[in-house]
Amino acid sequence: MPKVLAQAVERIAAAACEPGGLCVLTGAGMSAESGIATFRDAMTGLWSRFDPMELASEDGFRADPARVWGWYEERRAGVRAAQPNAGHHALAAFARRHPGVLTLVTQNVDDLHQRAGSVDTIRLHGDILCDRWLEPCQHATQRSACDVARALPGRPPRCADCDNPLRPGVVWFGEMLPPDAIAAAERAAEGCAVLLVVGTSGAVWPAAGLAAQARRQGAWVAIVNPHPSDIDGQAHAALRGTAVGLLPALFAS
Ligand code: APR
């Protein structure tokens, strides 16, 4: 085992007995080996093929609700067909063996951590498998956004009373993160003994700031990524490898 990996294994095992424990921040690379496309990988990333402002912004949705809704329906089908990988399972099994030690924060909107058994995952960018109203719908009190009857195929369902459309329950560009989620993530970064960042380019804030927050308070910070990321400078160790290739060994204790 390479020395840097052995050091990380030791640090993670030790964090299980230290106040603050372990925080793991995951990005799209965590689900790449489950067949879910990342956003910025050259050639294969979603943003190398689609314009995020047209498909992942409120303005883009208002300009062409059917196109955006259809694109998310395709992505949801991909998520439902995907399976959690060995990296997801390694994190969930470690958390079961060491209750209360690991805080899992994800930027991912898929449900693979949850299907692998991770509980209380902090979801910074929402849930692609759920919807919410585009406008605060005064008629919505009688039903939840995920229960409304589906509308015309390929088009977003609309409230029968005020024609308000549903939109995917994810955080789009230019939108605020759920306040409770980012507050919980920052608390975890401020208090942990070890922060492990898995599969993120570090291109999107405020998630990208968590590594510097952890480093500043004295946490040992490591990154799992086959390629350099924008936050490598915040890490004590950059583990060049994939989630499936490295997490089972890192979380075997
Ligand atoms: N294992 C680990 N890391 C991987 C793997 C893998 N198998 N495959 C790719 N990666 C790395 C890439 O090298 C890249 O650094 O995962 C990272 C994915 O980066 P992005 O595609 O930018 O995804 P992410 O960092 O999660 O994006 C953050 O941007 O568009 C928004 O809301 C979206 O949550 C997303 C946010």
pLDDT band at 150 (very low <50, low <70, confident <90, very high): low
Q: Is 39 in the pocket of ligand 1 (CB under 6 A)?
A: yes
pLDDT of residue 148 exceeding 60: no
Query: How many domains are contained in the chain?
Result: 2
Q: Does 211 map to a domain?
A: yes
Q: Indicate if 24 and 49 belong to the same structural domain.
A: no
What local confidence, expressed as pLDDT, does residue 43 receive?
A: 82
Show which residues are catalytic.
125
User: Using one digit for the tens of pLDDT, what is the confidence trace for 130-141?
Assistant: 999 898 767 655
What local confidence, expressed as pLDDT, does residue 144 receive?
A: 57
Q: Is 156 in the pocket of ligand 1 (CB under 6 A)?
A: no
191's tokens:
């208090």
Distance in Å, CA 45 to ligand 1 centroid = 9
Q: Indicate if 15 and 138 belong to the same structural domain.
A: no
CATH value at residue 108 = 3.40.50.1220
Q: Is 193 in the pocket of ligand 1 (CB under 6 A)?
A: no
Q: Indicate if 240 and 136 belong to the same structural domain.
A: no
Burial of 133 (0-12, 13-18, 19+ CB in 10 A): middle
Q: Does 162 map to a domain?
A: yes
User: Using one digit for the tens of pLDDT, what is the confidence trace for 98-138?
Assistant: 999 999 999 999 999 999 999 999 999 999 999 998 987 67
pLDDT band at 152 (very low <50, low <70, confident <90, very high): confident
Q: Does 29 map to a domain?
A: yes
Q: Is 27 in the pocket of ligand 1 (CB under 6 A)?
A: yes
Q: Indicate if 227 and 143 belong to the same structural domain.
A: no
Nearest CA to ligand 1 atom 23: 28
- 21 near 192, Cβ under 8 Å? yes
Q: Indicate if 73 and 91 belong to the same structural domain.
A: no
Atom from ligand 1 closest to the CA of residue 200? 25
Distance in Å, CA 38 to ligand 1 centroid = 5
Distance in Å, CA 55 to ligand 1 centroid = 18
What local confidence, expressed as pLDDT, does residue 164 receive?
A: 86
- Report pTM: 0.95
Q: Indicate if 117 and 17 belong to the same structural domain.
A: yes
User: Whats the size of the chain, residue-wise?
Assistant: 253
pLDDT band at 221 (very low <50, low <70, confident <90, very high): very high
Torsion of CA 36, 68, 58, 29, to 10 degrees: 10
- Chain mean pLDDT for the chain: 93
Q: Give me the domain span that covers residue 59.
A: 45-80+131-170
What local confidence, expressed as pLDDT, does residue 207 receive?
A: 97
d(C-alpha 165, C-alpha 132), whole Å: 9
Q: Indicate if 160 and 223 belong to the same structural domain.
A: no
Q: Is 37 in the pocket of ligand 1 (CB under 6 A)?
A: no
Q: Indicate if 136 and 119 belong to the same structural domain.
A: no
Q: Indicate if 165 and 187 belong to the same structural domain.
A: no
Distance in Å, CA 137 to ligand 1 centroid = 34
d(C-alpha 209, C-alpha 91), whole Å: 22
Q: Indicate if 241 and 185 belong to the same structural domain.
A: yes
Rounded mean pLDDT, 188-195 = 98
Distance in Å, CA 152 to ligand 1 centroid = 33
Atom from ligand 1 closest to the CA of residue 124? 34
Looking up tokens 């910070």, which residue turns up?
Answer: 221
User: Using one digit for the tens of pLDDT, what is the confidence trace for 73-94?
Assistant: 999 999 999 999 999 999 999 9
Q: Does 151 map to a domain?
A: yes
Q: Indicate if 104 and 228 belong to the same structural domain.
A: yes
d(C-alpha 87, C-alpha 40), whole Å: 20
Coil, helix or strand for 8?
helix
Nearest CA to ligand 1 atom 8: 29
Q: Indicate if 142 and 246 belong to the same structural domain.
A: no
User: Using one digit for the tens of pLDDT, what is the confidence trace for 40-67?
Assistant: 998 889 999 999 999 999 999 999 999 9
CATH value at residue 71 = 3.30.1600.10
d(C-alpha 73, C-alpha 152), whole Å: 13
Q: Does 40 map to a domain?
A: no
Rounded mean pLDDT, 33-44 = 93
Q: Is 170 in the pocket of ligand 1 (CB under 6 A)?
A: no
